[in-house]
Structure 1
C-alpha cells in the first residue's frame, strides 16, 4: 500500500491566510458602539410609536447601537433584548452599568489599590476614560472617581 503525502507550499499558506483575513475583515472592522440615554426612554418592538411598548429605560442607561433607520435606532439593552427607540434620546456621553452585586471602585487600576467607593448592581457610572488593561476609569454622579474592573460593568 502506497501512502501519498501532500505538502502545503508556503504560497498556498499565504493565500489561505489572505482569504481568512478577508472573510473576517468586515466583522473585525466593525466596532461595537455604545451610547447613553439623555432621558427615560420607551423601547418598542418596531421603529414606530404605534409599535408595542416593551419596556422603559432610565436616563443614563447605556445601550448598544445595532442599526439606525431614519429617526429610530435598534439597540441591545443591558438585559440583552433587542428593541427600537427614538435616536433623539441618545447622547454621546458614555456610561456603564454595574453588573456585579457589589463592585469596589479603586483609587488606582490595581486589585490591591485602596477603595474609592463601592457601587451595587444597576448603578450607572460615567465613563471618564476608555478601558485599559482590564480597568475603566469611572465617576459616580456624586463626583467620586476611581477604577472598576471591566468584567463588572456593561456598556464597554
Structure 2
C-alpha cells in the first residue's frame, strides 16, 4: 500500500471539510430594511421591544424560528426581528472609538496613501459597495463614497 505525503492528506481533508460543511466558513449576515425596526426580546410582535434600528444596520443571524431571526449587532446585543424586515444588502458600521470624539478616515482609494475625502465616528452605517485588500468601498446615505480600512468596520 502506498504511503501518501502528509501535505496531500491535509489538502484532501481540508477540501472535504469545505465542501461538506460550508456553513462553518461564514456567518449569515442581514441588514435592516426600513426605519425604526423593532428588535424584540422574543420571536413575536407581542414581545417587548429591546432596541430600534435604522435602515441598513448590519446584523449577524444566530438562530431562526419560523419567520423570525435571532440576531446580534456589533455591540453584541441580541434579540429577534421578523425576516421580512431584513435584506441581504451588505452594510457596515464603524466599530472603533466608542465613547470618543475621534473619527476614522474615509479615503479616495484603498490605502493610506490616498486622499481623505471624509470622516466618520463610531456607529455610522454605510452601504458596502466593494471589498478589496483589507479595505471596503462604502457609501453613506448622504452620498459620500470612499474607502475605509476593513478592520475599523463590522458587517458585510
Which of 43, 47, 56 is 2:43 aligned to? 47
Deviation of 1:79 after TM superposition, in Å, equals: 1.1
CA deviation digits over 1:71-120, x for unaligned, max 9?
Answer: 11111112113321111111232211111231101001011110111111
Q: Who wins on radius of gyration, i.e. which is larger?
A: 1
Seen in structure 2, the aligned counterparts of structure 1 residues 16 and 104 have a Cα distance that, compared at 3 Å, is closer
Deviates more, 1:68-77 or 1:133-142: 68-77
TM-score under structure 1 length normalisation: 0.79
How many residues are paired up? 147
Deviation of 1:15 after TM superposition, in Å, equals: 5.2
Deviation of 1:69 after TM superposition, in Å, equals: 2.6
The answer for the alignment partner of 1:124 in structure 2 is 125
Deviates more, 1:108-117 or 1:56-65: 56-65
Counterparts of 1:2-151 in structure 2, within 5 Å, are 10-11=3-4, 13=6, 18-19=12-13, 22=16, 26=21, 30-39=25-34, 40-101=36-97, 102-129=103-130, 131-151=131-151
Seen in structure 2, the aligned counterparts of structure 1 residues 12 and 111 have a Cα distance that, compared at 3 Å, is closer
Seen in structure 2, the aligned counterparts of structure 1 residues 69 and 149 have a Cα distance that, compared at 3 Å, is same
Deviates more, 1:138-147 or 1:23-32: 23-32
- Between the aligned partners of 1:107 and 1:16, the Cα distance in structure 2 is 42
The SS at the match of 2:129 is strand
Deviation of 1:19 after TM superposition, in Å, equals: 4.9
Deviation of 1:12 after TM superposition, in Å, equals: 8.1
